[in-house]
Structure 1
């Protein structure tokens, strides 16, 4: 875990939901306590966010023994109308250094494999 400096000012570019999703994309077997520490959130907040993300189809929680494993749905779309035509794969690729999750778009908005 890297030491997190407090954000400058009163706002950040990424929401807590995005930070939790990205933390689980980087480490699908992370305990929510670890995610809370990484995201500088309370464990209770992370539990609520994971429930939101699961309910909306952004991730699936799979029980493996005594641990949870989180599977991200890279084809899920952003919720805001301004980005609703884009899926989250690009965000995941940007922050997880995993180009295999990115979707390439043509200049007219179509997708390439």
Structure 2
């Protein structure tokens, strides 16, 4: 896991829900405590977010002894009308692509093209 940047004030692009989902996608056996550190949230906040994501069908978990293994439901579509047709898998692919490319221009252009609404996509 990479180092966590300094805390920051003001708005951010990703919600806490998106950060937790990305942390789970990166490591399905991660602990609530580790997600909290990675996402710079309290453990209680992460527990609530995980419960929200499970309740709305974005992830499931399997209990194994004293730990959980999470499964992101990739086909679940995002909730906001502006993300019309985008699935969790699409969002996570964009985040992974950005992370691995470190803002490499060709990847950023590909991600932008994929993010376009279906009616705006070239035919």
Give the structure-1-normalised TM-score: 0.80
Unpaired segments ≥5 residues, structure 1: 98-104
Instruction: Tell me by how many angstroms 1:92 deviates.
Output: 1.1
Q: State the partner residue of 1:65.
A: 65
- Name 2:30's counterpart in structure 1: 30
Which structure's CA Rg is the greater one?
2
SS at match of 2:83: coil
Any runs of at least 4 consecutive aligned residues in structure 1 with deviations exceeding 3 A, and if so which? 6-9, 107-110
Q: In the aligned structure 1, how far is the partner of 2:75 from the partner of 2:62?
A: 18
CA distance in structure 2 between the partners assigned to 1:56 and 1:62 by the alignment: 16
**Does residue 15 of the first structure (1) align with residue 15 of the second (2)?**
yes
Give the superposition deviation at 1:93.
Answer: 1.6
Cα deviation for residue 67 of structure 1 reads: 1.1
Q: Separation in 1 of the partners of 2:117 and 2:59? A: 29
What secondary structure sits across from 1:33 in the alignment?
A: helix
Alpha-carbon shift at residue 88 of structure 1 (Å)? 1.5
Q: CA deviation at 1:9?
A: 4.5
Q: Which has the higher strand share?
A: 1
| More helix per residue | 2
Is residue 2:50 matched to residue 1:41? no
Tell me the number of residue pairs that the alignment of Structure 1 and Structure 2 aligns: 102
